[in-house]
Chains A and B, each alone.
Chain A
């Protein structure tokens, strides 16, 4: 068997294992969905009238749904960090290491499973948004496809980072703490209010991080706002984080276990 088909075959076996875990124990994934849905409800129905600055509720829903969708991804992959950390403490990982399987397949299984879960989560949260009145204005099929592509690419990037965080954490609790930035970063992005409404000293913090350009790009694709350079910046962030996360995770996996 060529090493490529070995990689595909073993990775899909590992993916099946992870999906089986997710199907048997769906509570972790569902709990993680609560955060973005709660924030969506809170910001629209409780703070909405103030936050929108008088522009109206439906305008504000349209403004925050893209941010909420990317936040959903950040929140889902926290679950990935937790399950990777838990998994690495299991004896079965030691067994995998002594088998003649594709070395990366353990991690690839987690990554592909996590991206699939993130996409399903985005669809579920998106459906809540639509139920609350979110409508995409005049997005073409190409723009929809690009939006989907961006969401998948972004999921892949933060998943690899989350896998690295999970590998570096001794247990589930530590993994959950270490992955907090993935939930906090969207809160200090342009998800809820525009950058220019923030204090001047804070604007660079909100601007130079992966969530803001991705949110602005998604907004542009779904709502026709100005994308500018944000598309390229978002793609660069995604590719950079993917490479970084992959290398970090692989280095940790290749190290001798304790």
Chain B
């Protein structure tokens, strides 16, 4: 395939005088996962809405092709190639899960028997067979999300847009979702994914674009992005404010996090450097209550690129599987 699944140039959108997308370029090759990463309000959802034909781009935008079809001239052909799961549940709550699925089958003009087969298969695959005959409004958040994605898959779309597909899911459902996404890509589907979970982009995406304030701040593979930020650091945490202050005074080159009573010393995470750090601590008579070695991850890239400050690292505890080793 020479034609990329998605190709957009100079994508612009503003609402009133607020510019949401300020001329972004996106190219997604077939059968790959592309992740748009960014903080809330960066414009991720707007980008998905435009690429999935839900809203129109501003007239100043360049050409946008999805599935090989120009959105400006042949949106309907582009629609035939895509499936969309937005951020807000797109299921009909008044009818059952099964009826929702059959509705999709009818709208994709599948034959009755084919529709029933696909419905049964997907409900089974998404662990919804038992709840199939209950109204979708009675489903839990996770079940609604699974039904939503099952409905998206009914027509066998070649390109799938997933706008924060795992937000609000428990860890098990999140891992199941990742598994499903991997299977889809193996089967040749292209996935366009937005997320605020850096770990998710790291896990799944072939390419990642960091969107900040309507512009692409950086784009590349996870590895390439990690190389953007300088090496990692050793984090020293104290419980006693007095000990923290004296350590801060004796380790002049450390960056401070006064709120957490933590110091950060630059380090690439190698054994040699770690020993050097420990020697310095001994020499200065500093005894930290906790020491962690931190290698650069997408968090660092994210904060470095989106104007946040890496050292304070908010919501740290919400990110599972940190690449950190605790040394006490």
Question: Which A residues fall within an 8 A CB radius of B?
Answer: 1, 9-10, 13, 16-17, 20-21, 24-25, 90-92, 94-101, 256-257
Residues of B within 8 Å of A, CB-based: how many? 29
* Given A9-B109, A13-B103, A98 and B84 contact (CB-CB distance below 8 Å): yes
Contacts of A21 in B (CB 8 A): 94-95
* Complex CA–CA separation, A163 to B250 (angstroms): 73
Asked whether A1 lies within 8 Å of B93 as measured between CB atoms, the reply is no
* Given A98-B53, A98-B54, A20 and B99 contact (CB-CB distance below 8 Å): yes
Least Cβ–Cβ distance between B265 and chain A, in angstroms: 48
Least Cβ–Cβ distance between A1 and chain B, in angstroms: 7
Least Cβ–Cβ distance between B5 and chain A, in angstroms: 16
> B214 at interface (Cβ–Cβ under 8 A)?
no
> B210 at interface (Cβ–Cβ under 8 A)?
no
Asked whether B90 lies within 8 Å of A94 as measured between CB atoms, the reply is yes
Contacts of B55 in A (CB 8 A): 256-257
Least Cβ–Cβ distance between B136 and chain A, in angstroms: 10
* Complex CA–CA separation, A16 to B151 (angstroms): 18
* Complex CA–CA separation, A20 to B88 (angstroms): 23
* Complex CA–CA separation, A10 to B103 (angstroms): 10
The 9 closest A-B pairs by CB, nearest first: A91-B90, A100-B80, A95-B90, A100-B79, A13-B106, A256-B55, A98-B84, A91-B88, A98-B52
* Complex CA–CA separation, A147 to B93 (angstroms): 38
* Given A20-B99, A99-B79, A91 and B107 contact (CB-CB distance below 8 Å): no
Asked whether A25 lies within 8 Å of B84 as measured between CB atoms, the reply is no
* Complex CA–CA separation, A90 to B107 (angstroms): 17
Contacts of A100 in B (CB 8 A): 76-77, 79-80
Asked whether A24 lies within 8 Å of B91 as measured between CB atoms, the reply is no
Contacts of B80 in A (CB 8 A): 100
Contacts of A95 in B (CB 8 A): 84, 86, 90, 151
Asked whether A92 lies within 8 Å of B76 as measured between CB atoms, the reply is no
Within 44-80 of B, Cβ neighbours of A (below 8 Å) are at 52-56, 76-77, 79-80
Asked whether B54 lies within 8 Å of A20 as measured between CB atoms, the reply is no
> B92 at interface (Cβ–Cβ under 8 A)?
yes
Least Cβ–Cβ distance between A139 and chain B, in angstroms: 40
> A94: which of B86, B107, B108, B155 is its contact (CB, 8 Å)?
B86
> B40 at interface (Cβ–Cβ under 8 A)?
no
Asked whether B94 lies within 8 Å of A24 as measured between CB atoms, the reply is yes
* Complex CA–CA separation, A25 to B82 (angstroms): 33
Contacts of B155 in A (CB 8 A): 99
* Complex CA–CA separation, A147 to B56 (angstroms): 46
Asked whether B53 lies within 8 Å of A1 as measured between CB atoms, the reply is no
Q: Using CB atoms, name the residue of chain B closest to A90.
A: B92
Contacts of B53 in A (CB 8 A): 97-98
Asked whether A24 lies within 8 Å of B95 as measured between CB atoms, the reply is yes
Give the residue among A1, A90, A99 with the most B Cβ atoms within 10 A. Answer: A99
* Given A20-B99, A100-B79, A92 and B107 contact (CB-CB distance below 8 Å): no
* Complex CA–CA separation, A94 to B108 (angstroms): 16
* Complex CA–CA separation, A20 to B91 (angstroms): 15
Q: Using CB atoms, name the residue of chain A closest to B88.
A: A91
Contacts of B89 in A (CB 8 A): 91
* Given A94-B54, A95-B151, A97-B54, A17 and B92 contact (CB-CB distance below 8 Å): yes
Contacts of B79 in A (CB 8 A): 98-100
Contacts of A13 in B (CB 8 A): 103, 106-107
Contacts of B76 in A (CB 8 A): 100
> B92: which of A9, A25, A92, A97 is its contact (CB, 8 Å)?
A92
Least Cβ–Cβ distance between A157 and chain B, in angstroms: 27
Q: Taking A17-B103, A21-B94, A24-B95 as given, write out 6 further A-B residue pairs in contact, using a Cβ cutoff of 8 Å, ordered by the A residue number.
A: A17-B95, A20-B94, A94-B88, A99-B108, A100-B79, A257-B55
7 contacts between A and B (CB under 8 A): A10-B107, A16-B106, A91-B88, A94-B90, A95-B151, A100-B76, A256-B54
